[in-house]
Chain A
Amino acid sequence: MTPIALMGALEIGLIFALVALGVLISFRILDFPDLTADGSFPLGGAVAATLIAGGHDPWLACGFGALAGAASGLVTAWLHVRLNILQLLASILVMIALYSINLRIMGAPNMPLIGSPTVFAPFIGEALENSWLVQPAVLAVIIVAAKIALDLFFASQTGLAMRATGANPRMARAQGVATERMVLSGMALSNALIALAGALYVQTQGGADVSMGVGTIVVGLAAVIIGETLLPSRKLWVITLATIIGALLYRLLIAVALNADFIGLQAQDLNLITALLVGGALVLPQLKAKLRRKGGKAS
């Protein structure tokens, strides 16, 4: 694998680390199965791309992209909390609605940003010769900042209340936690992160496409699961770290698959490899537990 391919894998891994952190909040912390991601990721991209193409500041575009994502998460949570629509169904409704909304926002199925200003552009040379290094570096700073902010948030009073809401809603309510508000704000935060990832993604990839959300949730989940399998912990700062590592590893494995002519794998095998990877990560903890039990008996 060339250094550029490796950095490319890290770059997309870092973007999906934000998605994975969002998925971690909905699935693991709030225990809310949420498919909004497939819509909120391109939503963030669509909003950011439209603003950038309209001549606005790329950082501002990222901010509004994240805000739009927060709104979509809020709608999903509201459908569940207030209208009692099943969680999965509520998120599917928002996801499909977002497809049309994204088309409306962009006014076309594809919005190119090639040559437009981006948050990375000030650091990149005219010939794009250092873009492969600059983009992952800037992203790494953003992701580390997001991780630290999340860790601090989940150690705060509100953050703890949110974790309690997901872990045991009845107990949380008994302790005076406004669980509905926690679900609403947690889902908003989750999808804000995912949409921010979308906003950054379009700035690295030359444009937004209405199809770019396909499979976002699978990648996010895969990252969370790989992370917690490889680095199991109850400490939240380790869990967020594991999630980021999971996202990076996932993309690294895809890069290996793309470069794996030497073991006879081809690009067509990619989806199969993904499924095997996630399946393997899911089974690994059980195997480990079994081994441990056997080991215990023997000794």
Chain B
Amino acid sequence: MNFPRRTVLAALLAASLSPFATAADMKSVAVTAIVDHPALDAARKGVEDELKAAGFEAGKQIKYQYQSAQGNPATAAQIARKFIGDGPDVIVAIATPSAQAAVAGTRSIPVVFTAVTDPVAAKLVKSWKAGNGNVTGVSDMLKLSSQVDLISKVKPGAKRVGMVYSPGEVNSVIVAKELKAELAKRGMTLVEAPAARTVDVAPAAKSLIGKVDVIYTSTDNNVVSTYESLVGVAQQAKIPLVAADTDSVKRGATAALGQNYYDIGRQTGKLVVRILKGEKAAAIAPQVGEKLSLTLNQGAAQKQGVTLSPALLKEAKEIIK
């Protein structure tokens, strides 16, 4: 009865060791993401399109492979090892855990990260300057000065800005801290309303009524998951909502100057192309997504008691009625 078991084992071993083949002269790019979701998929599509535009079409001019860890960090680690073993010309790592797994495993293969908010805090790179060994990439961090510009354009003369966020999310905590400093520079103040759970978001927003002229929301997971409850409060109290992501505008925020992940992918693709053409990753400084798109919601603006200026409307890439 032991025979079939041995056959299975032998077959598995053979299958695991057989394909050693690699194309020698073709350049190769290996892309890995921690999970498939719309924003990360858009970033990947952007990388692929940029490569194609630069004359590196997958399967024709370059060997291209993509693997998703499907939310499982152990699989991300294994994918990183597979890629390092394959020895591609560039590894593109989408989101922090995938990037960390790749960077932990190699100091020779160039790693280009994307959709990572703070690569320095994640220790992917030592600094925002060039000279980070084999690692560079594009961050999706938002410049808060332009966010405050937008707040002032939506609600001219606004002095007090409210922010509902979850104290357990590191990105939100950082945004709140930096927003406070940025507002202080312009003689404005931040009124914080922490909401630890999604059910706390609406009460937290209500606590801001009468204390603020406008509410700003970051890409806080709690807030974004229950954006509608925030919109309800904003309409009742006639306080305009300014969001950090364009999707929230579709759900009822008045305005957002957000990053488009496809554009971040295109920008990342440009770095990949530079490396494929012979530049060293160390010579390229990590970048922040530079293309921001303004989305406005006129219906929401009206319900939240503001009129959007013609100048602002002209700037917008997309206007929702």
Is the C-beta of A3 less than 8 angstroms from some C-beta in chain B? yes
B77 and A1 form a contact (CB under 8 A): no
A5 and B82 form a contact (CB under 8 A): yes
Classify chain B's interface size: 35 or more
A31-68 to B contact mask, C-beta < 8 Å, 1/0: 00000000000000000000000000000000000000
B85 and A108 form a contact (CB under 8 A): no
B68 and A110 form a contact (CB under 8 A): no
A204 and B77 form a contact (CB under 8 A): yes
Q: Which of B102-110, B274-282, B308-316 lies at the interface?
A: B102-110
Q: Which residues of B contact A137 (CB under 8 A)?
A: none
Cα of A203 to Cα of B96 in the assembled complex, Å? 16
B12 and A209 form a contact (CB under 8 A): no
Cα of A129 to Cα of B107 in the assembled complex, Å? 8
Known: A1-B18, A110-B97. 13 other contacts (CB 8 A): A1-B17, A2-B87, A5-B78, A8-B81, A109-B170, A110-B100, A113-B104, A211-B73, A230-B5, A258-B82, A262-B19, A267-B79, A268-B36
B82 and A132 form a contact (CB under 8 A): no
Cα of A260 to Cα of B19 in the assembled complex, Å? 9
Q: Which of A88-96, A152-160, A249-257 lies at the interface?
A: A249-257
B96 and A110 form a contact (CB under 8 A): yes
Q: Which residues of A contact B104 (CB under 8 A)?
A: 113-114, 204-207
Chain B positions within 8 Å of A, measured between CB atoms, are 1, 5, 9, 12, 15-20, 36, 65-68, 70-75, 77-82, 84-87, 96-97, 100-101, 103-108, 121-124, 168-170
Is the C-beta of A131 less than 8 angstroms from some C-beta in chain B? yes
Contact A8 B77, CB 8 Å, known A112-B122, A114-B104:
yes
Cα of A205 to Cα of B80 in the assembled complex, Å? 9
Is the C-beta of A7 less than 8 angstroms from some C-beta in chain B? yes
B123 and A128 form a contact (CB under 8 A): no
Which 3 pairs between the two chains have the least Cβ-Cβ distance?
Answer: A8-B81, A206-B104, A4-B85
Which chain B residue shows the least CB distance to A211? B73
Min CB distance, A196 to chain B, in Å? 15
Which chain A residue shows the least CB distance to B36? A268
Chain A positions within 8 Å of B, measured between CB atoms, are 1-9, 11-12, 15-16, 100, 103, 108-110, 112-115, 126-129, 131-132, 201, 204-207, 209, 211-212, 214-215, 219, 230, 249, 251-256, 258-262, 267-268, 270-271, 288, 292
Q: Which residues of A contact B70 (CB under 8 A)?
A: 267-268, 270-271
Min CB distance, B249 to chain A, in Å? 26
A211 and B71 form a contact (CB under 8 A): yes
Contact A206 B101, CB 8 Å, known A2-B82, A110-B170:
yes
A-B contact pairs, 20 of them (CB 8 A): A4-B81, A4-B84, A5-B78, A8-B77, A11-B81, A12-B78, A112-B100, A114-B123, A204-B77, A204-B104, A206-B105, A207-B123, A209-B73, A209-B96, A209-B100, A211-B97, A258-B82, A260-B15, A262-B19, A267-B67
Q: Which residues of A contact B169 (CB under 8 A)?
A: 109
Q: Which residues of B contact A15 (CB under 8 A)?
A: 74
Q: Which residues of B contact A260 (CB under 8 A)?
A: 15
Q: Which residues of A contact B12 (CB under 8 A)?
A: 249, 252-253, 256
A103 and B122 form a contact (CB under 8 A): no
Which chain B residue shows the least CB distance to A212? B73
Our pick among A3, A128, A201, A262 for the contact of B74 (Cβ within 8 Å) is: A201
With most chain A CB atoms within 10 A of its CB, the pick from B65, B81, B123 is B81
Our pick among A127, A253, A262 for the contact of B108 (Cβ within 8 Å) is: A127
Min CB distance, A295 to chain B, in Å? 9
Q: Which residues of A contact B5 (CB under 8 A)?
A: 230
Cα of A3 to Cα of B107 in the assembled complex, Å? 18
Cα of A251 to Cα of B107 in the assembled complex, Å? 25
Cα of A271 to Cα of B72 in the assembled complex, Å? 10
A8 and B78 form a contact (CB under 8 A): yes
Cα of A207 to Cα of B73 in the assembled complex, Å? 11
B103 and A206 form a contact (CB under 8 A): yes
Q: Which residues of B contact A258 (CB under 8 A)?
A: 67, 78-79, 82
A205 and B78 form a contact (CB under 8 A): no
Min CB distance, B134 to chain A, in Å? 10
Q: Which residues of B contact A100 (CB under 8 A)?
A: 168
A128 and B107 form a contact (CB under 8 A): yes
B84 and A6 form a contact (CB under 8 A): no
A114 and B78 form a contact (CB under 8 A): no
With most chain B CB atoms within 10 A of its CB, the pick from A206, A254, A262 is A206
B71 and A214 form a contact (CB under 8 A): yes
Min CB distance, A8 to chain B, in Å? 2
